[in-house]
């Protein structure tokens, strides 16, 4: 078995699987810190971004929850203010959330004090091999550069137990959209890397997962087109 990390003197750990650090990670973190309060206000006051108000997204998360129930711990990567983390906890799952933005996590802890949250990038998780029943990348992986997303998906595959599932949702398109403001005119600097559903499914397969369901969401009055993909670690 490949060890997750190699023990080194003086408490240093060398990660067995390096993931490239996105060059813009710090500015992306600062941007989400700036929008976090407005994002929470939007979710709480309008229901936008809350699966409970979107029957098809809720159905996807319910199917995921039913599938991974009893398989092991679940990690919500890029959990933001913890809306889905808390929903899954309510459903009895052993779930925790992690997000790049400390301000998002402050909000998550305030809103859902009984849930477990931590601050980290998807690129820096150092997850134990075959330790998770489920992992989510719920509208949270689109800022990863195109060459980094496959590395993160491969890390999710390694972290899932055989039979464990990934669910991910992302924006559909071909462009790398440079955002300069978001969520009520807050200045931000991040790139939204859009994917065609076929491209995303191909990446997920290449990462070693077996896609089991795909939901396409056409653009509506609130958001552009999106896609949800659920996939299983074989075995
Ligand atoms: C649109 S919000 C979605 C939040 C949450 N999943 C939800 O559905 O409400 C995108 C989230 O992804 C997080 N994010 C962006 N890049 C990330 C990274 N490299 N690692 C972890 N989280 C990241 C942001 O901080 C932000 O909270």
Residues 6+ apart with CB under 8 A from 151: 19, 20, 123
Instruction: Answer yes or no: is 2 within a domain.
Output: no
Instruction: Answer yes or no: is 5 within a domain.
Output: no
Give me the pLDDT at residue 8, please: 44
Contact between 110 and 81 under an 8 Å Cβ cutoff? The reply is no
> Is the beta carbon of 168 within 6 A of some atom in ligand 1?
no
Instruction: Answer yes or no: is 190 within a domain.
Output: yes
pLDDT digits (tens, 9 = 90+) for 18-28: 999 999 999 99
Span from the CA of 8 to the centroid of ligand 1 (angstroms): 32
Tally the domains of the chain: 1
| Mutation pick for ligand 1 pocket among 26, 33, 78 (CB with most ligand atoms within 8 Å) | 78
> Is the beta carbon of 99 within 6 A of some atom in ligand 1?
yes
pLDDT digits (tens, 9 = 90+) for 107-160: 999 999 999 999 999 999 989 999 999 999 999 999 999 999 999 999 999 999
* Atom number of ligand 1 nearest to Cα 78: 22
pLDDT digits (tens, 9 = 90+) for 41-77: 999 999 999 999 999 999 999 999 999 999 999 999 9
Q: How confident is the model at residue 222 (pLDDT cuts 50, 70, 90)?
A: confident
Instruction: Answer yes or no: is 161 within a domain.
Output: yes
* Atom number of ligand 1 nearest to Cα 22: 19
Give me the pLDDT at residue 16, please: 76
Instruction: Answer yes or no: is 66 within a domain.
Output: yes
pLDDT(13) > 50: no
> Is the beta carbon of 104 within 6 A of some atom in ligand 1?
yes
Residues 6+ apart with CB under 8 A from 159: 75, 125, 127, 128, 129, 130, 131, 132, 135
CATH number at residue 114: 3.40.50.150
Mean of pLDDT over the chain: 94
Contact between 100 and 28 under an 8 Å Cβ cutoff? The reply is yes
Instruction: Answer yes or no: is 9 within a domain.
Output: no
Nearest residue by C-alpha to atom 6 in ligand 1: 79
* Atom number of ligand 1 nearest to Cα 122: 20
Nearest residue by C-alpha to atom 17 in ligand 1: 100
The domain in which residue 183 lies consists of 22-232
| Mutation pick for ligand 1 pocket among 140, 149, 168, 169 (CB with most ligand atoms within 8 Å) | 140
Span from the CA of 213 to the centroid of ligand 1 (angstroms): 22
Percent of the chain with pLDDT over 90: 90
pLDDT(4) > 80: no
Residues 6+ apart with CB under 8 A from 78: 98, 99, 100, 122, 137, 138, 139, 140, 141
Instruction: Answer yes or no: is 148 within a domain.
Output: yes
Q: If you average pLDDT over residues 200-227, what whole number do you get?
A: 96
* Atom number of ligand 1 nearest to Cα 123: 19
Instruction: Answer yes or no: is 187 within a domain.
Output: yes
Span from the CA of 1 to the centroid of ligand 1 (angstroms): 32
Burial code (b: 16+ CB inside 10 Å, e: under 16) for 165-177 equals bbbbbbbbbeeee
State the pTM of this model. 0.94
Q: If you average pLDDT over residues 182-200, what whole number do you get?
A: 96
Residues 6+ apart with CB under 8 A from 215: 56, 60, 227, 228, 229
Nearest residue by C-alpha to atom 4 in ligand 1: 80
Q: Say how far apart CA 151 and CA 15 lie, in whole Å.
A: 14
Q: If you average pLDDT over residues 71-96, what whole number do you get?
A: 98
Span from the CA of 16 to the centroid of ligand 1 (angstroms): 25
Give me the pLDDT at residue 23, please: 97
Q: Say how far apart CA 120 and CA 122 lie, in whole Å.
A: 7
Q: Say how far apart CA 223 and CA 231 lie, in whole Å.
A: 24
Give me the pLDDT at residue 2, please: 38
Q: Say how far apart CA 4 and CA 75 lie, in whole Å.
A: 18
First-residue to last-residue Cα distance in the chain: 16
């Amino acid at each position: 078995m490949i060890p997750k990390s190699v023990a080194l003197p003086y408490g240093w750990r060398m990660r067995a699987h390096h993931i490239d650090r996105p060059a813009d990670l710090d500015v992306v973190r600062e941007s989400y810190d700036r929008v976090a309060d407005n994002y929470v206000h939007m979710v709480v006051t309008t229901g936008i971004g809350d699966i409970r108000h979107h029957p098809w997204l809720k159905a996807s998360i319910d199917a995921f929850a039913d599938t991974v129930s009893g398989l092991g711990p679940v990690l919500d990567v890029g959990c933001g203010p913890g809306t889905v983390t808390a929903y899954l906890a309510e459903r009895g799952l052993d779930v925790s959330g992690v997000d790049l933005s400390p301000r998002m996590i402050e909000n998550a802890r305030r809103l859902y004090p009984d849930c477990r949250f931590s601050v980290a990038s998807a690129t820096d998780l150092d997850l134990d091999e075959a330790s998770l029943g489920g992992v989510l990348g719920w509208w949270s992986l689109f800022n990863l550069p195109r060459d980094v997303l496959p590395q993160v998906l491969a890390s999710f595959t390694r972290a899932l137990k055989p039979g464990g599932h990934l669910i991910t949702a992302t924006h559909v398109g071909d462009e790398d959209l440079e955002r300069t403001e978001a969520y009520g005119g807050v200045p931000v600097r991040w790139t939204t890397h859009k994917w065609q559903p076929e491209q995303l499914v191909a990446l997920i397969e290449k990462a070693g997962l077996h896609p089991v369901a795909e939901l396409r969401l056409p653009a509506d009055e609130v958001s552009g087109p999106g896609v949800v993909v659920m996939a299983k670690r074989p075995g």
